[in-house]
Chains A and B, each alone.
Chain A
Amino acid sequence: MAKYIGFRLLATIPLLFAIAVVTFLIAVAMEANGSIAGQVCGEGATTECILEIEESLGLNDPLPTRFVSWLGDVLSGDLGVSLLDRNASVNELISERIWPSLSIVGLSLIIGISLGMLMGVVAAIRPGGLVDRTFSVAAASVIAAPGFLIGMMLAWGIGVELGWLSPVGYTSPSESITGWFKSLILPSIALGMPTLAIVQRQLRSSMANSLQSRYILAARARGVGRATLIGRHALPNAMVPTITVIGFRAASAIGLTTAIEIVFGIRGMGEMLVSAILNRNVTVLQGGMLVVGLVVSTVNLLVDISYGFLNPKVRLNK
């Protein structure tokens, strides 16, 4: 197993390098698409402003030199300064913005995966039964609804009309733990609902496949009871594809939290990226993309490793 994890870790290195190259090229592409400095400094731009920005981006150096110095900075943990606010370092900006986003994504995954698995298993026990059909219609409808729309409905219904929870804003855990948790509930449910539906559907479908296998019939012929058949025999096999799907969903939840943050007025990574795109704030964009890429790669690595735990073939052969 250690060897398998080692190989997966090694395989992540070229991936991280590729992400770094792409992130770097974003700046190059943006420059090719019109002067960044000109746009950032605005219409009545002073030469001073433009020169300063060009200098800080190193626009006058040849590409390889720029890349090496940029990569050096990144590796030493320095992501530069925001172009809009010369006093704000990107590091600080991100470390401030990343916690709300990670909190929402994390809680949404906990909700979605736990409930989704439960409902998936329940539905698989009697395919075509009332529970299964109800769940599958519900899951199909939820998957069809974007998370931000669910978020707006929750914010309106529970936040505005019922007034149970605040429809807007984020409380940092350093201020109040309960306040932090309360501020996360609605956004996490909004982001977690589609996760729940996706996990439910995948697990139901792979459970159904697994329950049709001969080893289930064989176990039944040994006198194994229903609960054990479902929990011990079918579930581990059905989890293999489900884990993969959970991994993909975790990655896309990181992207989709952007819209959730905007609905609930939470200043997270997503909101930062969107305004950076609209303001063409290159350094913030690069830093943000890099960090998101890193998080996504970590998620994928975790998925690969848990895949190895669940599937003996993967672990032993490779």
Chain B
Amino acid sequence: MTQPLLSVEHLAVHFAGRGRLFSPDPPPVKAVNDVSFTIDSQRTFGLVGESGSGKSTVARAILQLVDIHDGSIHLDGDDVTRVARSAELGFRKRVQAVLQDPFSSLNQVHTTETIIGDPITRHLAIKAGDERRERVADLLDLVGLGHEFLDRYPYEMSGGQRQRISIARALAVEPDLVIADEATSALDVSIQSQVINLLREIQRERDVAFLFIAHDLEVVSHMSHDVGVMYLGYLVERGPSDDVYAQPTHPYTEMLIASIPFPEPGEQAKRRGLRQTFKVAEPPSPANLPPGCPFENRCPVAMDICREEMPAVTQAHHGGEARCHLHTSGPELGGGSVVEFIRSEARGNVGV
């Protein structure tokens, strides 16, 4: 097997609490715990989770924007867990990002030419001038914007156009990996599909790998070859996107799928019963995680062991991994799908 482009092993990111000068520090927020996955070149790995799941922190850790508590990150076999300042430029050229909010990810005081041109000057040593302008124009072609956008400021553009500029900026230095962190979440439905299609097209043309992060499982599984599902800092399930979607091995994944609103009244009515088996409870605070599984208090099929012990990673039927006691204790599903089990259990509980 060839070496993966990016490999993340046992990644953990904790944020120290910040008390006042003369008060004790609050406990650290454990944003990411023991997360491992790989991305092969020219493939897309999707990371899905709700707010507070730590998915964006994973991106920020790879991008060297936050301190890593534990674990390691390798890019093409090189250790990039903590990139030295001298090597940072080289690293930045290989890993780029498109960030969430198209309104704040572009500096209002610069024109498109500067926004996209700055990294070109920095990495490819092409000074501002005709050559750089031409390159920027080519990139605008690539993301489907006209050359009249060269001299426009971000406030003169719509959300979708700004996000295209962000994509052009990420591609300007010809990276191997682009991290798209909620890159389509702030956009209107009709614009979202334009940007998703653009990203897929770029992957076909530019041979770039994506780490695609979003809270919408539908969007992620449409974009990605493989997906990981995060809950409260843990990667609870990982596998090929179609298999995870069809036969999930973690109750939380099943809950996510059941919660996706479908634009069809009949279908929605069917999913309602299943969704109601999940308990109403607040997820625990990442600063104060329980000893057991963090999903335990919302899980319809939680067992005693779930309260006491954090489940270990087990092999799942789809070739990926799951982190759930159901596979090793109780029903001992052994990595199989949890769909049938939850449905029969749920029927017993609430009589759907």
Q: How far does the alpha carbon of A144 sit from the alpha carbon of B23 in the complex, in Å?
A: 40
Show 11 A/B contacts (Cβ-Cβ < 8 Å), sorted by A. A7-B20, A7-B22, A7-B23, A10-B22, A11-B20, A11-B21, A11-B22, A14-B22, A318-B19, A318-B20, A318-B23
The 3 nearest A-B residue pairs measured at CB? A11-B22, A7-B23, A318-B23
Q: Mark A1-40, 1 if CB is under 8 A from B, else 0.
A: 0000001001100100000000000000000000000000
Nearest chain A CB to B63 CB, angstrom units: 30
Q: Which residues does chain A contribute within 8 Å of B23, judged by CB atoms?
A: 7, 318
Q: Which residues does chain A contribute within 8 Å of B22, judged by CB atoms?
A: 7, 10-11, 14
Q: Which residues does chain B contribute within 8 Å of A7, judged by CB atoms?
A: 20, 22-23
Q: How far does the alpha carbon of A124 sit from the alpha carbon of B23 in the complex, in Å?
A: 37
Q: Which residues does chain A contribute within 8 Å of B19, judged by CB atoms?
A: 318
Q: Give A317's nearest chain B residue, CB to CB.
A: B26
Residues of B1-55 whose CB lies within 8 A of A: 19-23
Residues of A near any B CB (own CB < 8 A): 7, 10-11, 14, 318
Chain A at the B interface: SS class = helix
Interface residue total, chain B, C-beta cutoff 8 A: 5
Q: How far does the alpha carbon of A318 sit from the alpha carbon of B21 in the complex, in Å?
A: 11
Q: A10-B22, A11-B21 are in contact. List 5 more A-B contacts (CB 8 A).
A: A7-B20, A7-B22, A11-B20, A318-B19, A318-B23
User: Number of contacts between A and B (CB, 8 Å)?
Assistant: 11
Q: How far does the alpha carbon of A11 sit from the alpha carbon of B22 in the complex, in Å?
A: 6
Q: Give B20's nearest chain A residue, CB to CB.
A: A318
Nearest chain A CB to B263 CB, angstrom units: 29
Q: Which residues does chain B contribute within 8 Å of A14, judged by CB atoms?
A: 22
Nearest chain A CB to B15 CB, angstrom units: 16
Q: Give B22's nearest chain A residue, CB to CB.
A: A11
Q: Give A4's nearest chain B residue, CB to CB.
A: B23
Q: How far does the alpha carbon of A318 sit from the alpha carbon of B17 in the complex, in Å?
A: 12
Nearest chain B CB to A89 CB, angstrom units: 35
Nearest chain A CB to B18 CB, angstrom units: 11
Q: How far does the alpha carbon of A11 sit from the alpha carbon of B21 in the complex, in Å?
A: 9
Q: How far does the alpha carbon of A7 sit from the alpha carbon of B19 in the complex, in Å?
A: 12
Q: Which residues does chain B contribute within 8 Å of A10, judged by CB atoms?
A: 22
Q: Give B21's nearest chain A residue, CB to CB.
A: A11
Q: How far does the alpha carbon of A7 sit from the alpha carbon of B21 in the complex, in Å?
A: 10
Q: Give B26's nearest chain A residue, CB to CB.
A: A317
Nearest chain A CB to B175 CB, angstrom units: 40
Q: How far does the alpha carbon of A11 sit from the alpha carbon of B20 in the complex, in Å?
A: 10
Q: Which residues does chain B contribute within 8 Å of A318, judged by CB atoms?
A: 19-20, 23
Q: Mark B282-317, 1 if CB is under 8 A from A, else 0.
A: 000000000000000000000000000000000000
Q: How far does the alpha carbon of A10 sit from the alpha carbon of B19 in the complex, in Å?
A: 15
Nearest chain A CB to B25 CB, angstrom units: 11
Q: How far does the alpha carbon of A14 sit from the alpha carbon of B20 in the complex, in Å?
A: 14
Nearest chain B CB to A301 CB, angstrom units: 13
Residues of B41-93 whose CB lies within 8 A of A: none
Q: Which residues does chain A contribute within 8 Å of B21, judged by CB atoms?
A: 11
Q: How far does the alpha carbon of A10 sit from the alpha carbon of B23 in the complex, in Å?
A: 10
Q: Which residues does chain B contribute within 8 Å of A11, judged by CB atoms?
A: 20-22
Nearest chain A CB to B38 CB, angstrom units: 40
Q: How far does the alpha carbon of A14 sit from the alpha carbon of B21 in the complex, in Å?
A: 12
Q: How far does the alpha carbon of A10 sit from the alpha carbon of B22 in the complex, in Å?
A: 8
Nearest chain B CB to A244 CB, angstrom units: 16
Q: How far does the alpha carbon of A308 sit from the alpha carbon of B86 in the complex, in Å?
A: 47
Q: How far does the alpha carbon of A14 sit from the alpha carbon of B22 in the complex, in Å?
A: 10
Q: How far does the alpha carbon of A303 sit from the alpha carbon of B115 in the complex, in Å?
A: 45
Q: How far does the alpha carbon of A7 sit from the alpha carbon of B23 in the complex, in Å?
A: 7
Nearest chain B CB to A303 CB, angstrom units: 15
Nearest chain A CB to B29 CB, angstrom units: 14
Q: Which residues does chain A contribute within 8 Å of B20, judged by CB atoms?
A: 7, 11, 318
Q: How far does the alpha carbon of A11 sit from the alpha carbon of B23 in the complex, in Å?
A: 9
Q: How far does the alpha carbon of A7 sit from the alpha carbon of B20 in the complex, in Å?
A: 10
Q: How far does the alpha carbon of A318 sit from the alpha carbon of B23 in the complex, in Å?
A: 8
Nearest chain A CB to B88 CB, angstrom units: 36
Q: Give B19's nearest chain A residue, CB to CB.
A: A318
Nearest chain B CB to A10 CB, angstrom units: 6
Q: Give A314's nearest chain B residue, CB to CB.
A: B20
Nearest chain A CB to B17 CB, angstrom units: 10
Nearest chain A CB to B285 CB, angstrom units: 13
Nearest chain B CB to A6 CB, angstrom units: 10
Residues of B146-188 whose CB lies within 8 A of A: none
Q: How far does the alpha carbon of A96 sit from the alpha carbon of B182 in the complex, in Å?
A: 68
Nearest chain A CB to B19 CB, angstrom units: 7
Q: How far does the alpha carbon of A267 sit from the alpha carbon of B22 in the complex, in Å?
A: 40
Q: How far does the alpha carbon of A56 sit from the alpha carbon of B346 in the complex, in Å?
A: 88
Q: How far does the alpha carbon of A178 sit from the alpha carbon of B23 in the complex, in Å?
A: 48
